[in-house]
């Protein structure tokens, strides 16, 4: 498969599932191969993926934390909170790294703790300024390895770590990072502002590798220069400034389809997504399957909603930064996310009944902070 979208096509599809679950399978070099792409298999794999199901606790937590604050323009449901400061918005976000990654590779965990936070600020159309961390470690070696990863990412992206807190003697290993960014108030990109008739654009850097320590991480960043990764992050700031997108999120642990589901949940919308159009690398060459790919966390990836007349320009800007971007579907009012392939279609999420993050009140999405016609971790 060559790089780019539209690579399901004809012939064999690689599916990571037990053979008994897939009709008409054959084996090729030890890999399970299905002779057709089943939308039902893809939908089930995404829906039941831990990167998606672990998000369901967010709604319960929010109900116990929310208070009214007039200077908070957007909060829960966004990649970063937006706090108004005159004509500028302060962006505030935090991420914790899954303990399984800390156990597998402390260096990569430290690197990712910085990377995911920078993604959050970029997805809002903002510019990252500085970070603080809370590091809890059981050994000096793990502390050293995590810190090396954090420092390398901090230098590469040009975002300093300026403080934090250390627990040097805990019985567990955890790294959490918070980040501060800035955005012009009229240039912020939100998650809840997708509109009916928008096109869905996925942008991913396909020049990478399956990370050797985590098969669900697509590393397209550690081998790149500072100039390249900073240019990729900067694309979002320009898109927000020029008002070329209606909504956006960075592709996170739920993968490209799951992340789109989260965006639609916040916007109170649905979408139809064509699996054949999702950008992907040569899956056969790298030895992974399509359902594996759509559940991966990419080193650089974003899901956006765009008015039809702006799609070409949005894709061009990502291409200029070395990322594959494609129109993969359309937004509607159904509040259901459906995936299609040729004449087959399957529902992934029914967001009218149950959301991924479950940030709902009796009438739909909880929005405690809304400013004008834009606006909601």
Half-sphere CA count of 270, side-chain side, radius 13 A = 17
pLDDT score recorded for residue 37: 59
pTM of the model: 0.85
pLDDT score recorded for residue 57: 61
CATH topology of domain 80-185: 60s Ribosomal Protein L30; Chain: A; (3.30.1330)
The tens digit of pLDDT for each residue in 292-336 reads 999 999 999 999 999 999 999 999 999 999 999 999 999 999 999
pLDDT score recorded for residue 71: 83
What are the 10-residue block averages of pLDDT along the chain, 377 residues in total? 38 36 39 57 87 69 70 85 92 89 92 97 98 94 96 98 95 95 96 97 98 94 98 98 98 94 94 96 92 94 98 98 98 96 92 77 42 31
pLDDT score recorded for residue 65: 66
Domain ranges of the chain: 42-56+190-365, 80-185
pLDDT score recorded for residue 49: 80
Query: Six-digit token pair at 277?
Result: 């159009």
The tens digit of pLDDT for each residue in 124-181 reads 999 999 999 999 999 999 999 999 999 999 999 999 999 999 999 999 999 999 999 9
For 42-56+190-365, CATH gives: 3.90.650.10
């Amino acid at each position: 498969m060559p790089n780019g979208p539209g690579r399901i096509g004809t012939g064999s599809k690689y599916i990571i599932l037990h053979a008994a679950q897939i009709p008409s399978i054959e084996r090729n070099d030890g890999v399970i191969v299905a002779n057709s792409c089943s939308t039902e298999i893809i939908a089930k794999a995404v829906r039941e993926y831990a990167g998606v199901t672990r998000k369901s606790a967010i709604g319960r937590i929010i109900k116990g934390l929310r208070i009214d604050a007039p200077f908070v323009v957007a909060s829960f449901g966004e990649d970063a909170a937006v706090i108004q400061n005159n004509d500028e918005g302060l962006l505030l976000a935090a991420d914790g790294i899954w303990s399984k990654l800390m156990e597998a590779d402390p260096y990569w965990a430290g690197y990712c703790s910085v990377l995911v936070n920078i993604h959050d600020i970029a997805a809002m159309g903002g510019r990252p300024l500085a970070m603080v961390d809370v590091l809890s470690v059981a050994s000096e070696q793990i502390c050293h390895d995590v810190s090396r990863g954090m420092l390398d990412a901090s230098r590469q992206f040009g975002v300093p770590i300026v403080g934090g807190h250390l627990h040097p003697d805990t019985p567990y290993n955890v790294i959490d990072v918070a980040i501060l960014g800035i955005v012009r108030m009229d240039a912020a990109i939100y998650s809840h502002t997708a509109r009916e008739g928008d096109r869905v654009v996925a942008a991913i850097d396909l020049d990478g590798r399956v990370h050797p320590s985590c098969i669900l991480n697509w590393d397209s960043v550690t081998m790149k220069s500072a100039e390249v990764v900073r240019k990729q992050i900067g694309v979002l700031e320009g898109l927000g400034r020029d008002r070329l997108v209606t909504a956006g999120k960075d592709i996170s642990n739920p993968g490209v389809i799951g992340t789109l589901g989260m965006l639609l949940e916040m916007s109170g919308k649905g979408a139809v997504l064509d699996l054949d159009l999702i950008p992907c690398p040569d899956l056969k060459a790298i030895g992974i399957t399509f359902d594996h790919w759509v559940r991966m966390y990419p080193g650089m990836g974003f899901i956006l909603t765009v008015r039809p007349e702006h799609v070409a320009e949005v894709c061009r800007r990502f291409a200029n930064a070395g990322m594959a971007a494609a129109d993969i579907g359309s937004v509607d009012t159904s509040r259901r996310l459906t995936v299609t392939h040729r004449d087959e279609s399957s529902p992934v999420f029914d967001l009218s009944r149950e959301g991924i993050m479950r940030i709902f009140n009796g009438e739909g999405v909880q929005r405690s902070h809304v400013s004008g016609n834009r606006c909601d971790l």
